[in-house]
Amino acid sequence: MNVQLMKLRKAAGYSNRDEFAKKIGVNKYTYRSWESGAAMMNAEQVWNCAVALGCTPNDILGWYEDHPREDSGEHLTSEEREIVGCYRESTPQWRQNIAMTARAAAGESKETAKRGVSATEERAAM
């Protein structure tokens, strides 16, 4: 396993590994051992690092180094990533509500586009 902690930590703007260790609530020596490969993290520790670094556990564990992602050509904006993150943190009931709301908004937007009316004009007509 090719742990990517140092690369991801620096890319996220944490130049000092001891400060990053403090941020995620672990002893600086523990963190150093993870980064050097002398010790392995458990699943919760990998998750905590991923949250702090704004990446996925797969990114940290180097999964994509050995298993390249299929690039769909579509990259999420920061707002889209936020929505996906909120969805993933929600309960099953809220996930259902979020999905239903998104489908309704998309359907309404398509209908508005078919009529050739801008969203601003439609709001003004209401």
**pTM of the entire predicted model:** 0.51
Closest CA to 22 of 60, 52, 61: 52
Residue 61 has pLDDT above 70, yes or no: yes
Chain segment 12-60, per-residue pLDDT in tens: 999 999 999 999 999 999 999 999 989 999 999 999 999 999 999 988 8
pLDDT in tens, 92-117: 899 999 999 999 999 998 888 888 86
Residue 125 has pLDDT above 80, yes or no: no
Burial (CB < 10 A; 0-12, 13-18, 19+), residue 62, is middle
